[in-house]
Amino acid sequence: MRPSGQYGYPIRRQGSSPTTWGRDTPSDQSPDGRLSTRMAQMSLSAGPLERPSRPASYSPPRVSPPVTFTWEKVRTTGEVFTPRTGHCCASVGDRIFLFGGTDGESRKCDVYCYWCTRQEWEKIQVQRSHDGQLSEPAARSGARSVVYEGIVYIFGGYTKKDGDYFNDTWAFNPLYHTWTVLAAAGDVPARRTDHSMVLYDGSIYVFGGFDGRNRYNDVYSMELPPHGAFREGSPIARWQLEDGPVIRRSSGQECPSPRFGHSAVVYGSCMYVFGGWDGHDTLNELWEFNFPSGRW
């Protein structure tokens, strides 16, 4: 049985429990269309395993206990943020960082931290960087994030539907609470929102997205700088086009249609892309992109 078409559900794994924000239930939006600050966690817990009585000399085979997929609403305290959608989340150690999004009235550029062990939210006060500058990304929704060597990276997003789409890359240091913009070079992707972004072998990979007029199905990569590079100022973000219309015309390979609002994850040496919207239909396709070969 295939799942129905999906669009725009952010999810992050924390330990062994995937966690999601922003809808009133894991599967449906609130009937009146309101946004939510509720938080849900799916527990992957082992159920009871009954064993029949056996002679003392009997050695039973090793059997893995069944896994029970259940949702549990998380009770949180602290500085709770406004209801929102289009935000992005990333986990660093026992903390989950939330950035941006919109509450229906305005876009946000705030940062909140959720302490998993304390079940408590904290609003982060952004600090000046080593050069004394206080910088942060413009308010936006639709950005995507990854974590590499303890640093949170975000790319893209938008502020207004009729303009102000972004293709900038920012790095957030969870220890010092500072933002650093990366200087873009190489095959810089077009401005976009609601793309997907994953991490593989020290590089981020961006696929798809929307710029207000065009939907994309290209793949860009950028090797992330080492942690120490931030001591010398803004590192250079050198982009490379991995897959796009020009490349495909010469190879004739099959590929996903242009889309946005899809989800992507990494398993092994491949990126798996599911769902999204192509401007006409909500999609339920699953595609595999092989990183070493650069082919779908």
Averaged pLDDT, 264-274: 98
Give the count of beta carbons closer than 10 Å to the beta carbon of residue 196. Answer: 22
Which residue has better confidence, 189 or 1?
189
> Residue 102's beta-bridge partner residues?
85, 107
Q: How far is CA 237 from CA 27, 60, 74, 240, in A?
A: 37, 55, 37, 10
Res 7: pLDDT = 55
Q: The tokens 């986990």 sit on which residue? A: 91
The Cα diameter of the chain in Å comes to 74
Burial readout 10-34 (b: 16 or more C-beta within 10 A, e: otherwise): bebeeeeebbbbbbeeeeebeeeee
What global pTM score does this model have? 0.79
Distance CA 76, CA 98 (A): 15
Averaged pLDDT, 138-157: 98
Q: How confident is the model at residue 36 (pLDDT cuts 50, 70, 90)?
A: low
Res 27: pLDDT = 39
Q: How confident is the model at residue 160 (pLDDT cuts 50, 70, 90)?
A: confident
Angle at 76 between CA 71 and CA 77, to 5 degrees: 175
Q: What is the tens place of the pLDDT at every residue in 110-142?
A: 999 999 999 999 999 999 877 777 899 999 999
79 by Cβ neighbours in 10 Å (0-12 / 13-18 / 19+) ranks as: exposed
Q: What is the tens place of the pLDDT at every residue in 185-239?
A: 999 999 999 999 999 999 999 999 999 999 999 999 999 998 767 776 778 889 9
Res 26: pLDDT = 38
Which residue has better confidence, 43 or 210?
210
- Domains in the chain, CATH or no CATH each: 11-46+69-290 (2.120.10.80)
Res 37: pLDDT = 61
Res 81: pLDDT = 85
Q: What is the tens place of the pLDDT at every residue in 57-100?
A: 556 667 677 788 899 999 999 998 899 999 999 999 999 999 99
Q: What is the tens place of the pLDDT at every residue in 236-264?
A: 889 999 987 656 655 567 899 999 999 99
Q: How confident is the model at residue 21 (pLDDT cuts 50, 70, 90)?
A: low
Averaged pLDDT, 40-62: 54
Q: The tokens 């982060």 sit on which residue? A: 124
